[in-house]
Structure 1
């Protein structure tokens, strides 16, 4: 019977980080209660955390996937997984904390410099201003004081993300909010920027809501066969995720 053990701890005025191992899993925790990243130690092609899997729900639609941006790298579990599953995919992982970026490399096998992935220590808002890169997938997974920063759903940031998406690109926002008014206002702004091309994905037993916003036309629901085929390709149960998706109406309708 395996038991969990803490293999790293760091605490200062701004940060409390811990890394734990249990069996074949290694995880990064913020402030004792926020599970930021989790990897399968021996198999990088496995993404063990169900919330991380949900963040990749857009892959069920089979749209082009050549370049990704992760706003909030954490342990880099998704970058590591992409590198194992699809080494042809290039990516930029944007991390504000030098400490977290270091831990991603030292403890979570962030893809090496010889890969197509970059780990950039900077503010994602500055990256969007100065970069001319276009992405098929942008994931915004940021947290301050156990909630999503307000600026991630403001018009300036949402428009900046959309301008960096390819014609068939997807923005996924991981919203951690417990105020229904804030959620409603955030979704209103997303719909103002992306129109009818927005899906919601709930996460049972978790306090987050995933918002999938498409630069182009919202893709149709995949057939059962496509869900199985794409699920086998990526190692994710897309059939279950598809059942948790809600389609929003066009705010201008």
Structure 2
């Protein structure tokens, strides 16, 4: 778009990272203008896109919400929303590229918070260093699409095993032409269809995978919790909850 203004550009071992601004919005981009994150400058905790709002719903699923783990930090808008609106005592993030947290703090509104700690490195290698979590947000993308970890059987198993009892793994997954998540057959086999999905307008499918195969998603309780939160958020989550479906 013609009104985009570039605020920063850095080069690292993985390519180019840019921050651009259009109006009140800033975008973190990888590679050839591939948007990774969006931040609303007046309120960095505002979630602009459906996929981030759907992922936020995952934080309302556990009975307790004491510790959250983000695999992939990006611009940090979802992290900021969790810190601002939810009662997490600690939040941990693993980010591959050292420049991403720096740019997120300098340009995207990621605030310093004593509850937040960030590890730099490959999530597959550093997962064992992270504390067990009540919710794990899995959002690992490169400038060419989902990282290989999205379809790595052993790593997905390890993520689920890193959940506390009653916890939830929330994955931002690409969708295929038929609306199913990328790797649907692998996911169904690994998690035995014991998970739920929300297809979103951004062309992704958000997966909600419980720590235990016998764990149910209480849709009515989710709706009640979302309703309480909506006044503070400034937008409704009902449309996304209405799209919730069992694994197909």
Same fold (TM over 0.5): yes
1:46 aligns with 2:46: yes
Q: In 2, Cα distance between the equivalents of 1:98 and 1:61? A: 31
Task: Flag the structure with more relative contact order, 1 or 2, with Cα contacts below 8 A and sequence separation at least 6.
Answer: 2
Corresponding position of 1:127? 126
Q: In 1, Cα distance between the equivalents of 2:134 and 2:224? A: 23
Corresponding position of 1:202? 199
Corresponding position of 2:81? 81
Shift of 1:210: 1.5
Shift of 1:177: 5.5
Shift of 1:190: 2.9
1:142 aligns with 2:135: no
Over 3 Å counting, the alpha-carbon distance change for 1:235 and 1:169 in structure 2 is farther
SS of structure 2 residue aligned to 1:241: helix
Please tell me whether the aligned partners of residues 79 and 111 of structure 1 are also in contact (alpha carbons under 8 angstroms).
Answer: no
Please tell me whether the aligned partners of residues 74 and 104 of structure 1 are also in contact (alpha carbons under 8 angstroms).
Answer: yes
Q: In 2, Cα distance between the equivalents of 1:203 and 1:140? A: 16
Unaligned 5+ runs, structure 2: none
Q: Report which stretch shifted further, 154-163 or 48-57.
A: 48-57
SS of structure 2 residue aligned to 1:109: coil
Shift of 1:189: 3.3
Corresponding position of 1:228? 227
Over 3 Å counting, the alpha-carbon distance change for 1:156 and 1:82 in structure 2 is same
With normalisation by structure 1, the TM-score equals: 0.83
Corresponding position of 1:214? 210
SS of structure 1 residue aligned to 2:209: strand
> Aligned pair count?
243
Q: In 2, Cα distance between the equivalents of 1:48 and 1:161? A: 27
Corresponding position of 1:191? 188
Q: In 2, Cα distance between the equivalents of 1:196 and 1:233? A: 34
**How big is each residue's C-alpha offset from its partner over 1:134-180, in whole Å with a ceiling of 9 and x where there is no partner?**
11111111123522123333221111111110111111111226477
With normalisation by structure 2, the TM-score equals: 0.84
Please tell me whether the aligned partners of residues 66 and 88 of structure 2 are also in contact (alpha carbons under 8 angstroms).
Answer: yes
Instruction: Summarize the alignment of residues 1-253 of structure 1 with structure 2, pairs less than 5 Å apart.
Output: 3-11=3-11, 14-61=14-61, 63-86=63-86, 88-112=88-112, 114-131=113-130, 133-176=131-174, 178=176, 183=181, 186-204=183-201, 206-216=202-212, 217-222=215-220, 225-232=224-231, 234-248=233-247
Shift of 1:39: 1.7
**How big is each residue's C-alpha offset from its partner over 1:60-115, in whole Å with a ceiling of 9 and x where there is no partner?**
54632111111111112222222222364411111111121221222223232x52
Unaligned 5+ runs, structure 1: none
